[in-house]
Structure 1
Amino acid sequence: MLTDQRASNRIAIIDVGSNSVRLVIFDGMTRAPAPIFNEKVMCGLGRDPEDTGKLNPEGVELAVVAMQRFATLLQAMKVSHIDVLATAAVRAASDGQEFCDRIHRETGLTVKVIDGLEEARLSALGIISGDPRASGIMGDIGGGSLELVLLDQGEIKKRVSVPLGAMRLHAVFGSDRARLTAEINRHLDSIDWLTDAPGQQLFAVGGAWRSIAKLFIAQENYPISVVHNLAMPRGETEELTHIISQQSRISLEKVGGVSKRRIDSLPHASLVMNMLLSRMKPREVVFSGHGLREGWMYEVLPEDLRQRDPLLDACLSFAEDGERFHQHGEELFRWCAPIFSDLPENLERLRLAACIIGDIGWNEHPDYRAIQSYNRILRHPYLDLNHHDRVFLAYAIGSRYTGNFKGDESSDRILDEETRVTGRIFGHVIRLGHTLSGGAEGILSQTSLKIEDNKMVLEFNQSIATLYGEVVEQRLTKLAKLMNRDSEVRVA
């Protein structure tokens, strides 16, 4: 049973959008919050084909039923901190306030309607929460609006909200490409800073744009099915969005991989991205699973938590939940530092992450520890890593559990041979550290691992020399060989 204190730490946000209503519950206020509950209902509040200026009546009823269910669940889960945020559809509708009043009357939940600039700010904070030094333009396309934010090293410089939501464009313009193009041009032409971030990144937020990434994954047999932080070069993205923008519903249904509720408006979302790319000229498009909800969560964090590294915090949480000796990781990181004296900053960060989660496979069957650990990291939904670094970290941990880890198609396609060698070295040194110490704290600090005269030297204090044995010798020798060195053992 969970304690009342743990339950009281739960935090919830309900995002009432133009297309969907979603409840996400986070199990506490941390730098890398993991949802313990995440449910979406596709209501279509903003679907207004007759241009009445009101919310879709059918969507209203679906949303009310969904909110009643959410309110009951929140009470049962003893969630005390609840925010309900409504965006473009509700703020633009003439009966938006009536809808909010009904929700409060029938569920007890209070809906806060946020304006477009606030929605843009929160979505940008969602990107910053995963990449505190993000630079480029964040674009968040919803059903009713498109929010754009200029980012410079994690700072919000400029922001705007325009009525270029995918559902709205489909409802108003249908397949009339001339009128659709004119409407997109009219709004994008009014934003004079879209050319201020050439060669940087477009951070693509929103379900419609994530569907583009899903189509790419399906069509290219891309080896990682995780959309978050998938990066595509601009040229490749321009070609794909141009093709999608010209497809019919029937054609897109044959492709698969996209929600049927998004198919009608996907060509419109693709055209918006294509025309945005032609103005911005980014280096690449990074599809993000973060957005308004993560930005809201990031903003409510105390400043000291905001300053923590989201990847390392996620790894620490991962280790605390499943490892035998989760305190061992940072000691292991310090112990092997002397043999990694010239690593770039990003690889040092990944080395620390690998040391922290270097014991995650301890309770798997020995024959499957390597591949199971590899797959857990490769597909873990809450690691804020680009796909290259995600595969590298997974490969390093796979190598930690077997002397000659092969990986799979992901590592073959995404990592070059030099990078795989580095991953194997990381894995072998973690394997040696755990073998030598048994995972217990305080042992590694009585030994040292260093490079001297082109030899890898493992030195023991006399008091613990009995820890040296055949298995330790074998793993030291393999590590040294991998680094093109001989090995030597000394007793101080």
Structure 2
Amino acid sequence: MKHIGVIDIGSNSVRLLITEITDKRSFKIITELKEYVRLGEGFDNNGSLKEEKIQETINVLRLYKNFCATFPDIKIIATATEAVRKAKNQSYLMDRIKSEINLDIQVLSGEKEAYYDYFASINTLSINNGLIMDIGGASTELILVENRNLKECISLPFGAITLTKKFNLQDSISNAEEKNLKSFLLDSFSKIAWLNDLKVNTLIGIGGSIRNIAKISKKRTNYPLNLIHNYKLDSAEILDIYDEVKLKSAEQRKKIKGLSKNRTDIFVGAVCAVNTLIDMCKIKHVIISRNGLREGVLLSTLYNKQKIDDILGFSINNIMINNSMNPKHSNHVYKLTLSLFDELKPVHRLDDYLINVIRTSSMLHDIGSNISYYYHHKHSAYVILNSIIYGLTPRECVMSAFAAYYHRSDSLPSDFDKYKTLIDKVDLYSIKVIGILIRIAENLDKDLSNSITDIKCTINDDVIIIKTVSNTNSDFLIKQAQTISDSFNELLGKKLYVV
């Protein structure tokens, strides 16, 4: 098995995710395709999917299967959710798909769909406890996570499309329509016993509609990062967004920055559902998960349902393998950087909350060399800023990127100011300290030999002596590290000697 293709037949869209397996513990997403079929709108009065929607779905699946066939040794996993789950003519649809394109479909139960949402979230976000909410076109999954374990889950038979149709939400809504919608949602949520005794204040949001809430938020604040995974919103902002969109027609909603044109007619019901749940459960903030069903299926298949204990390490390792980096050098620079950080704490006075930043920036400090060795620190910063690194907060991502940049420069790039909304003055100082330490560590392994096995620091009033531990002659490497002396002195106020 060289590739995995995950097909998700949802109530709103049919998607394909193709992944290349690059190593036993790593993968690379090749492409993602999406077609809006809107199966959730395609039922007749008897609860059966209409022929035109069946044919449209088959046409998309045929296209996807032919595309998958261009990849060697591919395993296709095709799933279907609520629209197919509740269709009276489900068997007919499955038979048509099997006979016409020879594709087997797993019709997931609500609980199985919830499990994949859970598995994707806990393996790509640093969360121990929280409530996961996945709003699809025709169903909403709620999952309670405690100590990274799935404690409770339920699938509710309504989503963005079905709420829109049931309560006539395509355009601006009346007070009566809003009252009926909220009453329905509150009644549905209140019937879930475990939801009434919730002791978490974080909601993890999954699905296109919830991602659109985050995209609107990002546009409002000129958020500097392109990434949406692990984006955090306060609950009050979601209420504000809901109050804005409910008063607009579908045509007017098209002008809202961040809102997908394909969701303007079904967005209000989804936002109202999120807002109602937040209010009922006293949720303080929402964290966006870019990953859901498809990624859950992928990770569950690759790792045999075993949870990933070290999310950040897994993610960094995945990036390193896919970029053909030198793992011995990267790990050694990280080891030396961490030793320097620990030994010099009395001087820089920074704490261990920076460990994720140190680990990421030191291990990926030269990833930009794949673009060009010259000025690779600039390319490294770009790659870190635009990679989804699981286990990092947006603030840690920015700090890691510019610490990697600073390891070869005594100044930060001209566009750095736009990221200052995510960091403060202490963070800026931390970036420079970590960057300088990486610079020393990199020069102590300039020949990629790992010959300097450790360092010990002696701190005097105005001098710091770094004593290297090596079994070979390391004069060249020591000389390289000594070149940092002036920059070190300017930042930390002490002369540096490397011996």
Give the TM-score normalised by the residue count of structure 2: 0.89
CA contact (8 A) 1:195 1:281 kept: no
Partner of 1:473: 482
1:414 corresponds in structure 2 to 422
Do residues 238 (structure 1) and 247 (structure 2) align? no
C-alpha distance in 2 between matches for 1:448 and 1:285: 43
Q: 1:154 aligns with which of 148, 165, 169?
A: 148
C-alpha separation in 2, matches of 1:344 and 1:57: 63
Structure 2 counterpart SS, 1:35: strand
**Mapped partners of 1:249, 1:355: distance in 2:** 48
Q: How many residues align?
A: 481
Match for 1:401 among 408, 411, 427? 408
Contact 1:448 1:459 (C-alpha < 8 Å) held by counterparts: yes
Partners of 1:247 and 1:267 within 8 A in 2: no
CA contact (8 A) 1:322 1:360 kept: yes
Structure 2 distance, partners of 1:255, 1:18, is 24
1:387 corresponding residue in structure 2: 394
2:488 is matched by which residue type in structure 1? L
Match of 1:482 in 2: 491
* Matched residue, 1:103: 97
How far, CA to CA, are the matches of 1:304 and 1:66 in structure 2?
29
What's 1:4 paired with?
none
Task: Give the Å deviation of 1:51.
Answer: 5.0
Contact 2:44 2:50 in 1 (8 A): no
Deviation at 1:403, TM superposition (A): 1.5
Question: For residue 14 of structure 1, what is the aligned residue in structure 2?
Answer: 7
Please tell me whether the aligned partners of residues 129 and 310 of structure 1 are also in contact (alpha carbons under 8 angstroms).
Answer: yes
AA of the residue aligned to 2:397? R
- Where does residue 261 of structure 2 map in the other structure? 260
User: For 2:420, what is the secondary structure of its paired residue?
Assistant: helix
Q: Is 1:119 the equivalent of 2:113?
A: yes
By how many angstroms is 1:32 displaced?
5.7
Which deviates more from structure 2 when the two are superposed, residues 329-338 or residues 391-400? Answer: 329-338
> Could you tell me which amino acid in structure 2 is paired with residue 14 of structure 1?
I
Q: Say which SS state the counterpart of residue 450 (structure 2) adopts.
A: coil
8 Å contact 1:117–1:160 — kept in the other structure? Answer: yes
Q: Provide, for residues 106-140 of structure 1, a one-character-per-residue CA deviation record: whole Å limited to 9, x for no partner.
A: 11110110111111121111111113643110000
1:3 paired residue number = none
- Checking the alignment, whether the CA contact within 8 Å between 1:361 and 1:369 is kept in structure 2 is yes
Residues 353 and 129 of structure 1: CA distance in aligned 2, closer, same or farther (over 3 Å): same
- Partner in structure 1 of residue 79 of structure 2: 85
Post-superposition offset of 1:152: 0.9
Q: Distance in 2 between matches of 1:485 and 1:303?
A: 52
Which residue in the other structure is 1:137 paired with? 131
Residue 16 of structure 2 corresponds to 23
SS at match of 1:300: helix
Q: Which stretch has the larger CA shift, 313-322 or 180-189?
A: 313-322
Matched residue, 2:383: 376
Q: Distance in 1 between matches of 2:180 and 2:371?
A: 58
- The verdict on how the C-alpha distance between 1:464 and 1:135 changes in structure 2, with shifts beyond 3 A counting, is same
Q: 1:384 to 1:348 in 2, by over 3 A?
A: closer
**Letter matched to residue 333 of structure 2:** L
Give the superposition deviation at 1:73. Answer: 1.9
> What per-residue deviation string (whole Å, max 9, x for no partner) do you get for residues 349-375 of structure 1?
331222211111235567754443222
Deviations 1:325-357 (A, max 9, x none): 332121122223333226765522331222211
Sequence identity (%): 24
Report the CA distance between 1:308 and its aligned residue.
4.8
Moved more, 176-185 or 164-173: 176-185
Structure 1: give runs of 5+ residues left out of the alignment: 1-7
- Name the SS of the counterpart of 1:380 in structure 2: coil
375 and 367 in structure 1: CA distance in 2 versus 1, 3 angstrom threshold: same
Give CA-to-partner distance per residue, 1:178-197, whole Å, 9 cap, x none. 33222212211112333544
Please give the per-residue CA displacement for 1:136-159, whole angstroms capped at 9, x wherever unaligned: 100000000100011112111111
Comparing 398-407 with 109-118, greater Cα deviation is found at: 398-407
1:246–1:267 CA contact under 8 A, matched in 2? no
